[in-house]
């Protein structure tokens, strides 16, 4: 199954979860209403998600005069990838990280933190930028943001539905179908877990793909592998004050890595990502 078909299928599952909750709450009318909610959320995400996330992290525009070396790296790789030069932004935080956003290559932006500019050398930054531009080329950011929006909506509505069912807010459905409240409570508990797992499947698949295509774009898989080592250590030492809804955008997980929560990260394990990049380098005859 191709990555596009797999992603479309998973996004369909998220929409279906939302409609299923709507059906248990309001019957056929609820299905229609919640389908329209999903469409509306996708429309809003398509047009405004990039502006919202840049504003959320206080990202400031970067000109060529502000960071000429970084600007040249991005321009070189964008030309190699045959996409327009994305806008550059700087996030004022010591946590080393980066992300790309935008609905398509013509409306893309790459944001880097002050921390990554100090921590990584120019080869490693080139590996990071190659990864982020691969997300832009593959339109991963839009897909992942839509997935996060739908998953967040499922979780929010499931929580409301769960408490509403417990306190009798949807009592009419039980009389119509028998056991409706119990079914709603069960679904409201399981739906957020399912939504999280679907979001993880989308994000992790696309991170591996961006690593590989970014390494091919720079022709040096070890540039990114070395950067990932530094970024993992830097984020463990100084986690970013990032929102869980946008954590999937960053090249490495910006949240605290303590405990069992590692199982629910949108990013695959750094060790596995580095191992795959090193295998690419070995196949290419690089040390």
Distance in angstroms (rounded) separating the CA atoms of residues 62 and 89: 5
Residue 249 and residue 53 in contact, taking contact as beta carbons nearer than 8 Å: yes
Distance in angstroms (rounded) separating the CA atoms of residues 231 and 120: 8
Q: Residues 69, 76, 132, 207: which is the catalytic one? A: 132
- Three-point CA angle 28, 32, 38, nearest 5°: 140
Active site annotation includes 76: no
Long-range contacts of 113-119 (CB under 8 A, 24+ apart): 113/240, 114/90, 115/234, 115/238, 116/231, 116/234, 117/67, 117/70, 117/90, 118/94, 119/230, 119/231, 119/234
Residue 184 and residue 250 in contact, taking contact as beta carbons nearer than 8 Å: no
Question: Could you list the active site residues?
Answer: 132
């Amino acid at each position: 199954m191709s990555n596009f078909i797999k992603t479309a299928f998973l996004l369909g599952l998220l929409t279906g979860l939302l409609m299923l909750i709507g059906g248990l709450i309001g019957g056929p009318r609820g299905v229609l209403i919640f389908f329209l909610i999903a469409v509306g959320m996708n429309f809003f995400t398509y047009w405004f998600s990039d502006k919202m996330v840049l504003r959320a992290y206080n990202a400031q525009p970067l000109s060529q005069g502000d960071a000429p070396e970084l600007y040249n790296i991005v321009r070189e790789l964008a030309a190699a990838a045959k996409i327009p030069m994305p806008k550059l932004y700087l996030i004022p935080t010591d946590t080393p990280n980066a992300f790309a956003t935008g609905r398509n290559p013509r409306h893309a932006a790459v944001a880097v933190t002050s921390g990554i500019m100090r921590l990584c050398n120019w080869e490693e930054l080139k590996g990071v930028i190659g990864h982020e531009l691969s997300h832009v080329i593959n339109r991963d950011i839009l897909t992942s943001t839509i997935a996060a929006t739908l998953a967040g909506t499922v979780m929010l509505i499931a929580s409301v539905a769960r408490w509403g069912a417990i306190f009798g807010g949807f009592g009419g459905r039980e009389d119509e179908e028998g056991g409706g409240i119990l079914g709603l409570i069960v679904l409201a508990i399981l739906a957020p877990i399912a939504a999280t797992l679907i979001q993880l499947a989308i994000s992790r698949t696309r991170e591996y793909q961006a690593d590989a295509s970014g390494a091919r774009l720079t022709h040096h898989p070890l540039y990114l592998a070395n950067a990932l080592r530094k970024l993992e250590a830097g984020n463990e030492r100084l986690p970013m004050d990032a929102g869980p809804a946008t954590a999937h955008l960053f090249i490495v997980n910006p949240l605290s890595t303590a405990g069992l929560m590692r199982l629910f990260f949108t990013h695959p394990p750094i060790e596995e990502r580095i191992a795959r990049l090193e295998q690419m380098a070995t196949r290419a005859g690089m040390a």
